[in-house]
Structure 1
Amino acid sequence: DGPYLQILEQPKQRGFRFRYVCEGPSHGGLPGASSEKNKKSYPQVKICNYVGPAKVIVQLVTNGKNIHLHAHSLVGKHCEDGI
């Protein structure tokens, strides 16, 4: 079979408030579903059946029957225009 993406850890569903641009820089990474107060984790993916360099592009989308780009954007050192 060809390459595929395996999601190892989903983002945490609750307990994370996105910041407005006027509130200043980010306050940390998006926590993973198994993240706890004293044991942080983050969303993780794995590229299977592939060897070599790869670029994974991530976007926030809504969760539901009709998937749309989420109103919030990703920010960070390696993000450009919310991607």
Structure 2
Amino acid sequence: MRDKKDNATFDLPGFEPAGQDDAVVLPPEPKRGGPRPRRIALKQEQISLLEETDASGLPVWQRDPNLDLTGLPIWQPDT
């Protein structure tokens, strides 16, 4: 049996093409009737997000007094 993509493969014993007397004749498969039914596309809807977003869809940046400008927490000394 040869690989279609590899010309260097070798023929395996027992995979030779069948001769006329060894051939098993199978009846042709019946064709399926008619064209396939069309899939109906689902209607898309805009979902509401939990946070307010800008035009790009990213959340709007809001200043948090407990975070610095990089988003790391500001450590408060224990009193």
Same fold (TM over 0.5): no
**RCO higher in structure (CA 8 A, sep ≥6):** 1
* Greater Cα radius of gyration, structure 1 or 2: 2
Higher strand proportion: 1
TM-score band w.r.t. shorter chain:
under 0.3
